[in-house]
Chain A
Amino acid sequence: MVVRWIAERAVKWVLIALAFSALASLLLIAVFIFKEGVPFIVRVGLKDFLLSSEWDPQAGRFGVFAMIVASLCVTFGAMIVGAPLGVAGAIFLNEFVSRRITRIVKPAIELLAGIPSVVYGFIGVVAVAPLIREHLGGPGLSLLCASLILGVMVLPTIMSVAADAISSVPNSYREGALALGATRWQSVRMVILKAARSGIVAGVILGLGRAVGETMAVIMVAGNTVQVPGSVLDPVRTLTTNIALEMGHATGLHRQALFATGVVLFVVIMILNALTMAAMKRGHAGK
């Protein structure tokens, strides 16, 4: 009896400790990045750092504007590709094919999420980039290529979360709509998507997070030139890839500048999350 009581207590405290250590390590990471990055920003000046597009560590020029723009463009592009396809796929799996097919296809798609990003990057380099180069022009490795590859990468995440949201919509809504003479598609559009909205937005946020943070595949397919893209065919360098490309050989001020890039990335992700959360809240209010 007493032993069991002690065991229960112990398990509880171990779990609490684990939860807190996860939180603490997150906090530590943030503190570490900010400690290294913020002094640099103070020294160079926030305006010069954020609003200049000139990145030349040798010459002591550290402007990340182009990379912020590139990160936003690549993420946005990925969502344009991934979100509609993911949501459409989720609808299709839930509403328009038989249970049996869903049971086979859905796990297969979820498996796609486990493919290492370097493989996606590889496919981008050998298959997608040449196509873009030959048919649309430009160097091939570009904003467009990165968006396409990332869009496919986030697709399984969005699709599986959205599919779960849609399949948890009570069947009574479906029946109610059909019983009023709605077609399948009308019932989806007018009732089911509205009922599943918050879950679908959650899926899109997850996909968004993955797209902003993805590094390996982007390094391989985005071309990595520091510039504000003039068209989707231009090569770009994002915040994440900038850090990954230069961290290995950076010292002193340059190294600090990369941490400051991390700070910017952190803030960008926070803002994107806040925006999507706000969008989700609005969705709830309409219910």
Chain B
Amino acid sequence: MKPAIEISGLNLFYGLFHALKDVSLAVERRKITALIGPSGCGKSTLLRVLNRMNDLIPECRITGSVLVEGRDIYAGGEDVCALRKKVGMVFQRPNPFPLTVRENVAFGLRVEGINEPGAIEQAVEESLKAAWLWENVKDSLDRSALELPLDQQQRLCVARLLAVEPDVILMDEPCSALDPIATGKIEDLMIELRARYTIVIVTHNMQQASRISDVSAYMLLGEMIEMGPTLQLFSKPRDRRTEDYITGRYG
């Protein structure tokens, strides 16, 4: 089977700064791929290449090819909005909209022009259930999402993503604002979601990467150093630099 995402020869510049250097990467379908590496090595940048969030940065320039489901997303004439519905993103800090819980989940449908109450109601319930949030919020769907505790806010961000039925879910350090218990819940959720979605996660937490990911990729200073099955990468890294990093000798 072909990989869900194939990146080859990717270079990215912020103005003159060369942030990603000849990066190649294949992300397999229905697996959790973890991007690890020290701060500033370009993990978030690489993640944001995949749903073209870097388009928001005017001085950002990209060369190379990025195929999602076989289509080059940086070829001319690609529909960025459609791409972002297929490749959803969960951010580092939970960022629910200042709307009700219900409207947060319904957002993606309304963007699609779906306003029919029955359809909305059903999607809201299904998505919240899939994000394991339904039991917490089913009685407070009309409360402001900003009143929820942080971990529920983060799961709400997952729920509103699931409502648009993406293929790929990108997560940029989704647990870094959460305590260990909340982190555990999100991790369990990710493992559950793996059955249906392709997940790429950026994490600073080595234990997290080894707990949940199937494949890991180690980046350093904008370069892809090593990529492989998580078990192997953590037990027998091929590259000295990877070994230094995962054994804590980095820096």
A binding-site residues for B, Cβ under 8 Å: 98, 170, 172-173, 175-183, 186, 190-191, 194-195, 287
For B145, give the chain A residue with the smallest CB separation.
A287
Interface centre among B88, B91, B95, B110 (most CB of A within 10 A): B95
Interface flags, B72-93, vs A, CB<8A=1, else 0: 0000000001111100110101
B85 engages A195 (CB within 8 Å): no
Least distance between B123 CB and chain A CB atoms (Å): 13
Nearest CB in chain A to that of B113: its residue: A186
How distant is A70 from chain B, measured CB to nearest CB, in Å?
Answer: 40
Is the Cβ of A195 less than 8 Å from the Cβ of B111? no
B127 interface residue per 8 A CB criterion: no
Per-residue CB contact flags for chain B residues 14-36 toward chain A (1 = under 8 Å, else 0) read 00000000000000000000000
**A–B complex contacts, Cβ < 8 Å, 9 sampled:** A170-B95, A173-B95, A175-B91, A176-B97, A181-B81, A181-B82, A181-B112, A182-B111, A287-B98
Q: Which listed residue (B51, B93, B98, B112) contacts A179, Cβ 8 A?
A: B51
Question: Chain B residues with Cβ under 8 A from A181's Cβ?
Answer: 81-85, 108, 111-112, 164
Least CB separation from B58: chain A residue: A98
B97: chain A residues at CB < 8 Å are 173, 176-177, 190-191, 194-195
Whether A178 contacts B164 in the complex (CB less than 8 A), given A173-B97, A190-B107, A190-B110, comes out as no
Q: Does B161 contact A (CB under 8 A)?
A: yes
Bound together, the chains give a CA A181 to CA B82 distance in angstroms of 6
Cα(A259)–Cα(B53), bound, Å: 61
State the majority secondary structure of interface residues on A: helix
A98–B56 CA distance with the chains assembled, in angstroms: 11
A179, B51: Cα distance in complex, Å: 7
Contact A172 B99 (CB under 8 A): no
Nearest 3 CB-CB pairings of A with B? A181-B85, A172-B95, A179-B89
Q: How far is the CA of A177 from the CA of B89 in the complex (A)?
A: 10
- Cα distance A98–B57 in the bound complex, in angstroms: 11
Residues from chain A with Cβ under 8 Å of B144 in the complex? 287
Q: Which residues of B contact A179 (CB under 8 A)?
A: 51, 53, 84, 88-89, 91
- Asked if residues A177 and B107 are in contact (CB atoms below 8 Å), the reply is yes
Whether B53 pairs with A175 at a CB distance below 8 angstroms is yes
CA–CA, A183 and B161, complex, Å: 16
Question: Do A180 and B91 touch across chains, with their CB atoms under 8 A apart?
Answer: no
Contacts of B111 in A (CB 8 A): 180-183, 186, 190
Are the C-beta atoms of A178 and B56 separated by less than 8 Å? yes
Cα of A98 to Cα of B85 in the assembled complex, Å: 26
Does B157 belong to the interface (CB within 8 Å)?
A: yes
> Does A178 contact B107, Cβ atoms closer than 8 Å?
no
The answer on a CB contact under 8 Å between B93 and A172 is yes
Residues of A within 8 A of B88 (CB): 179-180
What's the least CB distance linking B15 to chain A, in Å? 14
B146 within 8 A of A: yes
- B160 on interface, CB distance cutoff 8 Å: yes
Q: Is the CB of B95 within 8 A of A175?
A: yes
B93 & A182 in contact (Cβ 8 Å cutoff): no
**Residues of B contacting A180 in the complex (Cβ-Cβ under 8 angstroms):** 84-85, 88, 107-108, 111, 160-161, 164
**B-chain residues with CB within 8 Å of residue A172 when the two chains form the complex:** 91, 93, 95
Contacts of A176 in B (CB 8 A): 91, 95-97, 157
Measured between beta carbons, the chain A residues less than 8 angstroms from B56 are 175, 178
Q: Give A180 to B82 CA distance when docked, in angstroms.
A: 9
In the assembled complex, which residues on chain B have CB atoms less than 8 Å from the CB atom of A98? 58
A181 (CB) vs chain B CBs: closest residue:
B85
Residue of A173, A179, A182, A190 ringed by the most chain B CB atoms within 10 A:
A179
Partner of A183, one of B81, B89, B96, B160: B81
